[in-house]
Amino acid sequence: MKKQILIAGLLLISAITFGQKKEIKIAQKLVKSNNFSEAISTLKQVESTISSADASTEQHYYTLLGQAYLGDAGNDFDKMNKAGDAFEKALAVDKKGKYKTDIEKGLNDLKNALIESAKLDQKSKNYIDGSKKLYKGYTLSKTDTIFLYYAASFATDGKSYDDAIKYYSELLDLGYTGITTQYYAVKKGTNEETLFNTKKERDLVVKSREYVLPKDKKTKSKKADILKSLTFIYSITGDLEKAKELIKDAKKENPDDMDLLNVEANMYYKANDLVSYKKVVNEMIAKDPKNPQLYYNLGVASKKNGEIEDASNYYSKAIELKPDYVEALINKSQIILDDEAAIIEEMNSLGTSKADYDRYDELKEVKNGIYKEALPYLERALEIRKDDVDIIRTLKSMYDLLGMDDKAKEMRARLAKLEE
């Protein structure tokens, strides 16, 4: 009886094995003819029994499954992910197996597909899917750390900050710098320096004497960029202590990086630490003294901090460097007009005595002087922003108060046309 059961069991295993090999053979033909979705369906029919197959059959199964998912993927990350999982399972069965070459080619094709698909995601600003694809590329080959770097960059652009922190932190733990060697040579008879893809390619053209003066150059380290990105992310997510800690390391890596100083300045501004903010902006001005925006930024911070005279001077400097700087022109005029409030308050508090009337006339002259001082800035701003309703309304009111009837009429006409 036991012998009969054993024979029946062996017959069953034989039938299963025969079925597996038959379906796998069919799937192989389907893959070769690019019928990928049908190949996947065929392979799914033996999925539940494949673990009982011999190593060669199991490896062949997962290799074909990887090829089928990759061929059917297009821009679909889920299918790319399944392709990667299948190739990895195939390799895990036997790293030196019969299908090793096919697996390695499949993994290489998959990495290229992930890169191309991520590029499409970047164009459509679908950064999160692009980041997932690049991270998958990294998991397939942990030596390809450039995948991890760009996965972090895409995650940052997609505001997936938890993933970005995870990826950037992993890069720092790995000691990643992104430094590579680039291979140059000068075309003979010219001063034109050419970059070659590989050292071998460069050395061949030098050997042929078409090119001379071979030179190897190291690319800039990406560590400062990683620290800068992490600082930016931590400042956005509100972990300012972590951001401040990282900014110190980042500045050691690249003390002259203006973008880094800008991130630091924004970090302090967000924390309402205007003293530190102004200090950093002044560092930036020392490196770029003719940048009008830096003076404008100092003006905004000074105004917010109640340092009105400083703010006015900074706006004036920004306008000196960039006469058409509309925001600086408007803010400069606003600082001048802010003095109007105290004068109006005093005028409204006066009585009906002769002394009060005399004082009223004096204050009216002072108020009109404020309007006349502010007018050139707003008029220049309107020359640039011809349809700015707020500027037109403000100028109309000032012209009315100054008795400049023709100008006021012009502003009313422009306003009516814009509000039609």
Residues 88-130 pLDDT 10s: 999 999 888 889 999 999 999 999 999 999 999 999 999 999 9
d(CA 205, CA 195) in angstroms, rounded, equals 12
394-414, pLDDT tens digit by residue? 999 999 999 999 999 999 999
* Residue 187 pLDDT greater than 70, yes or no: yes
Contact 152, 171 (CB under 8 A): yes
Region of poorest pLDDT, from 66-70, 237-241, 307-311: 237-241
Q: Domain extents for the chain?
A: 2-124, 181-218
Closest CA to 71 of 109, 101, 41: 109
pLDDT tens-digit map of 326-359? 999 999 999 999 999 999 998 999 898 999 899 9
Question: Domain 2-124 maps to which CATH number in 3.20.20.70, 3.40.50.300, 3.40.50.620, 1.25.40.10?
Answer: 1.25.40.10
Give CA 336 to chain center in angstroms: 39
395 with 412: CB under 8 angstroms?
A: no
Distance from C-alpha of 411 to C-alpha of 389, rounded to nearest angstrom:
10
Q: What residue type is assigned to position 77 of the chain?
A: F
Q: Please give the distance of CA 1 from its chain centroid, rounded to a whole number.
A: 72
- State the chain's mean pLDDT as an integer: 90
Q: Determine the 3-state secondary structure of 269 from DSSP.
A: helix
Strands 181-187 and 193-196: antiparallel
What the block records as the tokens of 75 is: 């821009």
Side by side, which strands form the sheet with 211-218?
193-196, 181-187, 211-218
| Separation of alpha carbons 318 and 325, rounded Å | 7
pLDDT digits (tens, 9 = 90+) for 356-392: 899 998 999 999 999 999 999 999 999 999 999 999 9
The model carries a pTM of 0.71
3-class SS of residue 271 = coil
Task: Report the pLDDT value the prediction gives residue 17, as an integer from 0 to 100.
Answer: 52
Residue 149 has pLDDT above 50, yes or no: yes
